[in-house]
Structure 1
Amino acid sequence: MVERRIDHVEVEIDGVRRAVAIDLEESPLGWLARRRGRDGRSFIAPVQLIAGERLRADFTRAGMAPRLTANWDAVTRADRAGGAAGLNASEAMLAARQRVGRALEAAGPEFSGLLMDVCCFLKGLEQVEQERCWPNRTAKVVLALGLDRLARHYGLSAAARGPARARTRAWKAAEGAGGEGA
């Protein structure tokens, strides 16, 4: 029996935060997140993994993967829950398709095909390099750039950023304004 490595990642979809289970053995992104370079850092950052898995989750919800068997969705109840609060299955699928479209548009034409191949169709980097006639080890670099754009689209970053120091504010009334003796 093969032991699966399931990890839980929290993503925000339509303003609702949810825990999503990912199979690290199945996903090429999971493989890249577990591997370390010579400098000891993983090949992709946690925010890149989350962004790629979020794209994959929306792709799966949208029913965009090619079907290998018959489609039995028409036989099921039309009003069943589709994943997003208040949406039926068709509306949830349409919303997921729109999210995928916006994410790929934000990634740009340079990265959208690669993101689809690796994140959604689960192609390995060697296979992508062979299909695109790229030199060895280039897909990893291009994928990292694409995942960075995807993470930026989703509003993800490795660290919280803000001003070095916030402006000081005082919440006291001005002298003589409605106090005692007025």
Structure 2
Amino acid sequence: MDQTKFTHESGNMFPDWVPQDAKRYLDHTERGLTIRALARRGGCAPSTVMRQVRKIELKRDDPLIDEALSNLSQCAADLSQRCAEQAQSAPRPKDTTHMNKSTDHTPNTSTDGANDALSSGALVPPTDATIEFEARRILRRLSEPGACLAVAQDMEKAVVVRDLPGGRTARTAVLDRPIAQAMALKDWITAQEKGKITRYTITSAGRAALKMLIAADETARAGFAEAPAGFGHQGTAWPVPSGLNPEAEKQKRVRYNAAESPVMTLSRRRDKDGEMFLPPELVGAAERLREDFELAQMDAGAAQDWEQYLTSGAVPETAKDTAGYGPQAAKARVVAALVDLGPGLGDVALRCCCYLEGMENAEKNLGWSARSGKVVLRIALQRLKRHFDQAGYSNLIG
């Protein structure tokens, strides 16, 4: 089978999340397609394709982008080879001259070959849904002050670290290296320091992507049918105040920077004695609960009703098995923490640490007086820190 024909007709050579300029760069450098051929296929001027190719070439000194392009090239080569092998081994009909186009049952080697490549253990790039799901978590972390993504050579994972007061650093998130490669190729992150450990920061394009993902998530929670299906597997059950139309709710809901939690906002405030209102150890406890909560959303089960653990007197079975690193263990740790906090303290911790609900909205929804929620939240975090210390959990799951 002609490789160029397969790429043009199937459209499955590269995933949809790969930027168009990167696809054209790979078609030109790896597959030998000319600039004019790519321009004719894309309906643009050859100079446009040339600028895109040069732009990607200049970015190959970035280790993540170079790895992403190399992996995509290898995936495309493997996919093309497997489709060609299937085309050669596919049985041919004895006589098709009498068949018209509507009755031709010749196998679709392009689609079948792509499916076989995905199911045969070949190198497969991450999907669009996976990238969007991880981007919500990672881009939100990178938007926090002093945060960066650290990528070391020959390491399978990338780590988000954040500078804390006193010259200390905290590891706030971990992600797979292929996801970090995709984010760099999409220009959501950019390298600031290169070497054995390369540090990346979020770009303006990354902030714009985060806003779009957050808006899509809020739309999905509001119940709009046109919400992207990629967010349906999170299983979140975030409360939405009733009696407000979507436009009014959108204006009143955002009372803080959506890129960081209300706990981070309170951590920068000081009390009347000049001391930090939330010490770093309490912020660490809140972030520990938040990370377990987000990890628990990766479970493929049904939507969780977390508030049931604040009203029921019986301890669920899942709260007894808190060991491990998977979604089930994370859910058990969240349940155990909520049960220990109980009503009131657990309510404010769930809303502010997990749901990222603003303090004003939390006070209103819980029926509390103004400016009383932050005091209750500090007491809840003190109790939460004691719970984590007694259980022997580390501050962060990363």
Give the TM-score category using the shorter length: 0.5 to 0.7
Paired with 1:51 and 1:118, the residues of 2 have a C-alpha distance of 13
Equivalent in 108, 115, 119 of residue 342 of structure 2: 108
1:148 is aligned to 2:382: yes
Alpha-carbon separation, structure 1, partners of 2:369 and 2:375: 11
Distance 1:30 1:133, change over 3 A: same
Once residues 147 and 43 of structure 1 are traced to their aligned partners in structure 2, the CA distance between those partners, rounded to angstroms, is 12
Q: Which residue of 1 aligns with 2:55?
A: none
SS in 2 for 1:20: strand
> Retained in 2: the 8 A contact 1:8–1:19?
no
Q: CA deviation at 1:143?
A: 0.5
Aligned position for 2:283: 49
Q: Aligned-pair distance for 1:133?
A: 2.2
Offset of residue 58 of structure 1: 0.1
Gaps of 5+ in 2: 1-142, 148-161, 165-169, 174-256, 300-323, 391-398
Q: Which aligned pairs between 1:48-67 and structure 2 lie closer than 5 A?
A: 48-63=282-297
1:114-146 deviation line (CA, Å, top 9, x unaligned):
111000010111111111221111001111111
Q: Distance in 2 between matches of 1:4 and 1:141?
A: 23
- Is the Cα contact below 8 Å between 2:271 and 2:277 reproduced in 1? yes
Whichever of the two has the greater Rg, that structure is: 2
1:72-122 deviation digits (Å, cap 9, x = unpaired)? xxxxxxxxxxxxxxx7xxx71101100101111121223111111000010
Larger relative CO (CA 8 A, sep 6+): 1 or 2?
1
Matching residue's letter, 2:293: F
Distance change >3 Å, CA 64–CA 130, structure 1 → 2: farther
In 2, the alpha carbon distance for the partners of 1:104 and 1:64 equals 19
Q: Answer with 121-130 or 38-47: which moved more.
A: 38-47
Displacement of 1:20: 1.9
* Residue in 2 that maps onto 1:14: none
Give the structure 2 partner of residue 34 of structure 1.
Answer: 268
Call closer, same or farther: CA 1:128–1:153 in 2, change over 3 Å: same
Distance 1:33 1:148 in 2: 14
Structure 2: distance between partners of 1:149 and 1:107: 7
Residue number among 6, 12, 19 corresponding to 2:171 in the alignment: 19
Q: Which runs of 4 or more aligned residues in structure 1 lie more than 4 Å from their structure 2 counterparts after TM superposition?
A: none
Distance 1:136 1:56, change over 3 A: same
> Hey, what's the Cα distance between the residues in 2 that align with 1:48 and 1:64?
25
- SS at structure 1 position matched to 2:369: coil
Instruction: Give aligned-pair identity as a percent.
Output: 38
Aligned residue type for 1:58: D
Distance 1:95 1:141, change over 3 A: same
Q: Secondary structure at the match of 1:19?
A: strand
Secondary structure of 1:155's aligned partner: helix
Whose helix proportion is higher, 1 or 2?
2
| Cα root mean square deviation, aligned | 2.9
2:77 aligned residue: none
Question: Partner letter of residue 35 of structure 1?
Answer: R
Q: Matched residue of 2:344: which SS?
A: helix
- Check whether the contact 1:112–1:146 (CA below 8 A) recurs between aligned residues: yes
Structure 1 residue ranges without an equivalent (≥5): 10-17, 66-86, 157-182
TM-score by length of structure 1 reads 0.59
CA distance in 1, matches of 2:346, 2:336: 11
* Deviation for aligned residue 1:19: 2.5
| Kept in 1: contact 2:363–2:369 (CA 8 A) | yes
Aligned partners of 2:382 and 2:144: how far apart in 1?
27
Partner Cα separation in structure 2 for residue 48 and residue 40 of structure 1: 17
**Equivalent residue for 2:369?**
135
> How many Å apart are 1:44 and its aligned residue?
1.1
* Residue identity in the other structure for 1:119: C
Task: Report the counterpart of residue 211 of structure 2 in structure 1.
Answer: none
Q: State the number of aligned residues.
A: 122
